[in-house]
Amino acid sequence: MSQITITHILFLSTALFFIGVYGLLTRRNMITMLMAVELILNSVNINFVAFNKYLYPDNLNGLFFTIFIIAIAAAEAAVAIAIIINIYRNHRSIDVEDNEEMKF
């Protein structure tokens, strides 16, 4: 395999990040917006691990950050699902365009 430098991995994580952002901005369903957020968090994890491995191999800071982020993402996903179900019960729809209560 050719020499894979850190730059390539960073390109990958950037692409993943911006795909997630696009999904966040474009999707109308709240659950798919949540999925896009998970993508963003994953791209960040890849970034941490790559930096740790290539630039600072003698300590494990990046690794730990990644583990913690995975834990936090799990918690946040749980709470988000709870909120979505609550909204579903009030509005009978999980379309984000229908939640216009903060309009002028």
91 binds other proteins (CB under 8 A): no
Separation of alpha carbons 22 and 33, rounded Å: 10
Q: Integer distance in angstroms from the first to the last C-alpha of the chain? A: 57
- Touching other proteins, residues 1-40 (CB under 8 A): 5-7, 9-12, 14-15, 17-19, 21-29, 31-36, 38-39
Buried b / exposed e along 37-47 (16+ C-beta atoms within 10 A): bbbbbbbbbbb
- Touching other proteins, residues 59-78 (CB under 8 A): 59-60, 63-64, 66-68, 70-78
Number of residues that bind other proteins (CB under 8 A): 76
Q: Which of 2, 40, 44, 52 binds other proteins (CB under 8 A)?
A: 52
Give the nearest distance from C-beta 2 to other proteins in angstroms. Answer: 14
User: Is the Cβ of residue 2 or residue 58 nearer to other proteins in the bound state?
Assistant: 58
Is residue 95 helix, strand or coil?
A: strand
- Structure token digits, residue 66: 């990644």
